[in-house]
Every structure is written in structure tokens, then in C-alpha cells.
Amino acid sequence: MKRVEGFVSERLTQAREAHGLTKAALSGMLEISPNALTALETGASLPRVETFEAIAEKTSFPRQFFLRPAPPPMSGPVFWRRQASEPMRSQGKTSQRIEWAAEAFSVLSEYVDFPALDLPRLTEWPGNWASVTNEQIEDLADHCRDVWGLGSYPIPDVCLALENMGIPVLAFEIENSKQSGYSRWADHIGRPVVGANTLESSAVRMRFNLAHELYHVLAHFGSVTEKEVRHPQTYQAIEKQAHRFAGALLFPRDAFLKSVQYPSLEEFASHKQEWGISILAQIKRAQDLGVCDSDWARALNIRASKNGYRGKRGEPFDKEMPLEKPRMLRRAIDAVEGGGELLLQQVRRRLSLPRMGEQEIFGRVLETTGSNVIQLKSARQE
């Protein structure tokens, strides 16, 4: 009975998790036993030709995907916004997109020059994440702004700021709207991947989520353990730090104290579009900086909830403010396409992602569009 030589077992697991399927569900679709599927995923056996064809058909992945070597597994924890609200099925689907983005970066780096990873650092910084003070968090946010040349002015595009630092950013819909953002360090490309959920999101929410994930990158990667991430109380403290940083990055202390005369929903609404930060986040910022006490903040939050700010109705100006869009990986693909259709087809074969994966990672499918945004290495060297 003919078997498919060169079948990579890890790729089957990736394809299954990318669709959020259990082993029982996929084995049923393939009309094989769960034990047989486990044997395929562990590499204990190779698939028959007809099973291989069924795998490609049922998962909608190109056959080549299952035949190319898998990258080394990523180490360290994934930082999820609202850890407890993120079911394993949704985590698995998103984790695969992170893997794809890292693989895409690795392949595309052979064709284009990406920005070098350049993370702002403070010379005086505690070795233990739990020892970091609120004042140090404020200082780190101010330092990032200084490095970006912004001073106390609004950040025009948080997504672009992260990409200019050399961080690949993802933005696609995750079925669990409570899961706002995520970040993970990818060892084989030597940099993190950061992302935000665009499902039922708003521009200000996305900006806050990306700023939040940036703090994980700067202060928690390599310091926080997997065990700490899984401990609810500890993770709450980790998230609290990232929240403080996000607020400080988007609306720095000096500017906030100068701009906010009287903490009210109307006052915060007047600053929302200029600073790109939500009314709800400004309430917390005012409390953090002592502009209002906890009772005042509670009253504002109650009123905001009654106004529907936390629901589908959203806040004022949400519909007027467009979501920020990642550019790095999209522009790299555009540049490859500018080098010729055959070059784009080559990259597509090397990645062998399904169409939905291409759209989520690059914001487009890997078919000719006629764009050419950044310069190829070969063109630059001539």
C-alpha cells in the first residue's frame, strides 16, 4: 500500500489547529480512526495516498504545505489579552497564524530588507518584572516617544510605529471578540510577532491593544515564565502593568495633565480623536494620575456603561476613526510581485498557505495585482 514519503507530521497538526478542529472532528472528516490520526501527527506512520489527498481537500491546504519542513517550535509563553477568556480552540487557531507570520518573515527576508529590530530600552530597569514601578512604566513610555521623535504629541499610527521598530504586526478577525491582542517571541527570526483582533474592534481599541502588547515585548519577554502566565492572579498583575504602559504611551502624563481640565465623559470625548485613545481608557488614565479618585472613576464608568460605550453601540467617534493596517509583510509581498509574477509564484509555493491564511497574514492573496512598493535586494544591489 503506497504511502506519501516526505510527509511532515507537524504540518498536519498545524492545519488541524488552524481550523480549530479536534482530533475527533478531523479524523471523522478523513474517515480514519482518532488513533490513526494521532499516529500521523506524531510521525509514527505516513499517510496513504488517498488519506493525503483527503487531508489536503478537507483542510483546504495546498499539498506542498504538508511536504515542507516545519520551523523549530517557538519557546516562551504567548501573551493573550484576557487569558481566561481565550478558549484553547481559539488560541490554537491564532497561534498557527503567528507561526505563519514568522515563517513568512523568514522567507521574505531572503528577498527584501526588513527594518532591524530596535527596541527602546531604559538603562535602569529591574531584572524582575514584578519589581517594576508605575513611575518606571511611565518613564519607559516617555522614552519610546522620545525615540520615535514624538515628545508629547499624539502617535499618528501605533501599528506603523511598531513595524518601524522591526516588529511584524498582524490584524485579522478572531472569532472570540473578547480576545483583543496577542504577542510571542519567534526565536528563528529573532524578533516578536504582535497582533490585534479586528472583530468588533475600533481604532482606539486596536491602538491600545498594540501598545499593551508592546509592553509585553519590552518588559515581559524573557522575564515572565509560562507558569506565571497561567496563574490568574499573577497574570492579572502582568496585564495591569501593560495597561498602565498603554495608557502612558497613547496619552503621556504631562500632556494629559495639561489637557484634562475636568474629568468627564464629554471632556474625554473631546480628546479621543486627537490622541487616539478611548474614553474608557482615559477614565483609567485619570485615576492612575490622580486626576480623579476611585469613586469619581466608578461614577464615570457607570455612566459610560449606561451610554452603551462597552457594548456594540460603542463610543462616540468610533465609526469615524478607521482601523490601522499592518504594512510590513504586505509591502514585502508587493515588492516581490514587483520583481515579476514568477517570483511571486515562487514565494507562494515556498509558503504554501491556504488563501485565507494569505489574506490574514498579508492582507491580500498571493496573486498578481501589479503593485510594487519597496525595493528588492537584487534590484538595489545592481
Q: What is the pLDDT of residues 275-299, one digit of tens each?
A: 999 999 999 999 999 999 999 999 9
Q: What are the angstrom distances between the C-alpha of 126 and each of 132, 143, 257, 322?
A: 6, 16, 27, 38
pLDDT digits (tens, 9 = 90+) for 28-78: 999 999 999 999 999 999 999 999 999 999 999 999 999 999 998 887 788
* pLDDT tier at 373, thresholds 50, 70, 90: very low
3-class SS of residue 248: helix
CA distance 133 to 139: 10
Structural domains in the chain? 9-67 (1.10.260.40), 79-103+109-306 (1.10.10.2910), 327-381 (no CATH)
CA distance 141 to 98: 26
The C-alpha cell of 189 is what? Answer: 527570526
Order of strands, sheet of 191-197, starting from the edge strand that comes earlier in the sequence: 79-80, 181-186, 191-197, 169-172
Residue among 214, 166, 206, 200 nearest 327 (CA): 166
Looking at residue 369, its pLDDT comes to: 65
Strand stretches in the chain, DSSP E:
79-80, 169-172, 181-186, 191-197
Looking at residue 84, its pLDDT comes to: 52
CA distance 46 to 81: 38
Residue 48 pairs in a beta bridge with 3
pLDDT digits (tens, 9 = 90+) for 175-228: 877 778 999 999 999 999 999 999 989 999 999 999 999 999 999 999 999 999
The C-alpha cell of 355 is what? Answer: 488563501
Least confident of 78-87, 92-101, 146-155, 351-360: 78-87
What HEC string does 145-194 produce? Answer: HHHCCCCCCCCCCHHHHHHHCCCCEEEECCCCCCCCEEEEEEHHHCEEEE
